[in-house]
Amino acid sequence: MKVVIVGGVAGGATAAARIRRLDEHAEIIIFERSGYVSYANCGLPYYIGGVIPYKEDLTLQSPEGFWERFRIDVRVRHAVTAIDPAARTVTVQDLERGVTFTESYDKLLLSPGAKPTRPPLPGIDSPRIFTLRTVEDTFRIRSFVERSAPRSAVLVGGGYIGLEMAENLAELGLQVTVVQRPRQLMNTLDYDMATFVHAAMRAHGVDLRLGSDVTGFADTAAGLRVELKGEAPLEADMVLLAIGVSPDSELARKAGLELGLKGSIVVNDRMETSVPDIYAVGDAVQVRHTVTGENAVISLAGPANKQGRIAADNICGGDSRYRGSLGSSVIKVFDLTVASTGLTCKAAQAAGLDWDRVVLSPASHATYYPGASTMTMKVVFERGTLRLLGAQIVGYDGVDKRLDVLATAIGAGIRADRLKDLDLAYAPPYSSAKDPVNMAGFMIENLATGKVKQFHWEDVEALPRDGSVTLLDVRTPMEYELGHVPGFFNLPVDVLRDYVDRLDPAKPVYLFCQSALRSYIAGRILSQRGFDCYNFSGGYRFYQVVSTEREACRSAWPCGMAKE
């Protein structure tokens, strides 16, 4: 059997090694357009920033290493330009020698990845404008930084690459500005959770231009001018475009393979395309979202590796199936860790689901053990069925651990309230006896059984301040004086029972505290005395971060922000 693989990195390289482990006699050829077949794609920004000091550390495997260990023929700087499914051949151009030839195959695997979006804007071809996809791109950017010593950079786009590059360039001492057309960073988060990212970026000196639209570029004597729609232009020494990626599927399109969302390659759960004996994996393929069951394009290294293994199994006569993607991800934003999986609230809304959420701010481990830090968790679930839909977490220590537990629970079909029953490891340096994931389960069970009713940050402004409802902040007087929501009066939970007779049981009661725990206790005290109580989801700490960012947005855009 002769297997030709187009593209290396995560999907193609993984598939090649797996095929060899399953079939010692197969002839395996990898054609890779770039000069590197297997490299740490996700580590590229950190080499530019000097966190990864040596370029050799980016290379996971070389062509020579593939041959020595696996007897796999890897040909870098070779671009496959056409596929002839009837003849079972590919046309290949040797980019070094300028020679074109054909190669036959029994099985063909496509792993072309995704290419950075590069809109046709005026001045887009300036040598000071970069994109980041390959090792060569990385060397080009790092060389420019070392050679030209830029003092400022504009990053167009607020996704993973944009934020990682913003951090690394800022750490090198550059003045960094992020320009983002949507009014929040990271579309894998809901707006309220993204405000924590905004705060972290600003705290580290990064200028955010949210809701701004780049219309073009112009080289100047001083550097580069970035034109903005309806705003004064920005001046910078360099620009990085990180406004998204699109499947690199032109080769598949020309060969007549069926394409789907965003031009992605349509595959079944065996990673087979619409043409027999042609498989496809990685960022270029359309997959099924695990939660919604709908088609999706999810460009992440984890799914690409799994798909490569599955395709290899099936190429070798097995029957492996891809079960879908949740889009689980984690990113470092300076000292903050940001992670998400499954659906956000806005995605659940778009999918037509009857969703709800809980927001909590637990400690990373037992607070009596030194070093505990606070994380903010948002768990999204379906009303009625209590099906877990997604989760988002921002914090410092232990974020990735909790996100992975929640992703596993979603994949396993564990009901949201059953999170309380998970038997998770505990020791004071690592967790609490009631792990944050357990706490989310407790809260969801309380909602499902009617012990608690909630209100949310987007509801606060609309609450009447005319005395028709009771607005209580049950924190200590000192906490209240340091900051509170206008219209809420202070009545600490520890003295609440002494003042119950002064409250009107005919009026709904809206409760605030720092983390929503004391307000929950206050709500239980009052509800058992006949009061209709609503607990603020997330607590004052959460409200303060969101409202501060929202006010900043209002200052820039008087029309205000849309509700979640």
Active site residues: 42
Spell out the long-range contacts of 120-125 with Cβ–Cβ below 8 A and sequence spacing 24 or more. 121/214, 121/215, 121/216, 121/217, 122/215, 122/216, 122/217, 122/218, 122/227, 123/216, 123/217, 123/218, 123/219, 124/216, 124/217
Q: Which two tokens stand for residue 364?
A: 């990373």
| Residue 313: closest CA among 279, 289, 276, 349 | 279
Distance, in Å, from the CA atom of 195 to the CA atom of 545, rounded to the nearest integer, reads 7
Distance, in Å, from the CA atom of 384 to the CA atom of 168, rounded to the nearest integer, reads 45
Neighbouring residues of 224: CB distance < 8 A, sequence distance ≥ 6: 126, 128, 129, 154, 217, 218, 235, 236, 237, 238, 239
Distance, in Å, from the CA atom of 249 to the CA atom of 285, rounded to the nearest integer, reads 8
Taking the mean position of all CA atoms in its chain, how far away is CA 85? 37
Contact 217, 122 (CB under 8 A): yes
| Residue 443: closest CA among 380, 511, 355 | 380
SS3 227: strand
Distance, in Å, from the CA atom of 343 to the CA atom of 392, rounded to the nearest integer, reads 9
**Maximum separation of any 2 CA atoms in the chain, in Å:** 90
**Residue for token pair 């004391």:** 518
Distance, in Å, from the CA atom of 104 to the CA atom of 17, rounded to the nearest integer, reads 20
Contact 390, 342 (CB under 8 A): yes
Contact 189, 342 (CB under 8 A): no
**Helix-then-strand count for the chain, H and E:** 15, 33
Neighbouring residues of 53: CB distance < 8 A, sequence distance ≥ 6: none
| Residue 103: closest CA among 155, 44, 30, 17 | 30
**Residue for token pair 């972290």:** 200
Segment holding 244, helix H or strand E: none
Distance, in Å, from the CA atom of 543 to the CA atom of 487, rounded to the nearest integer, reads 15
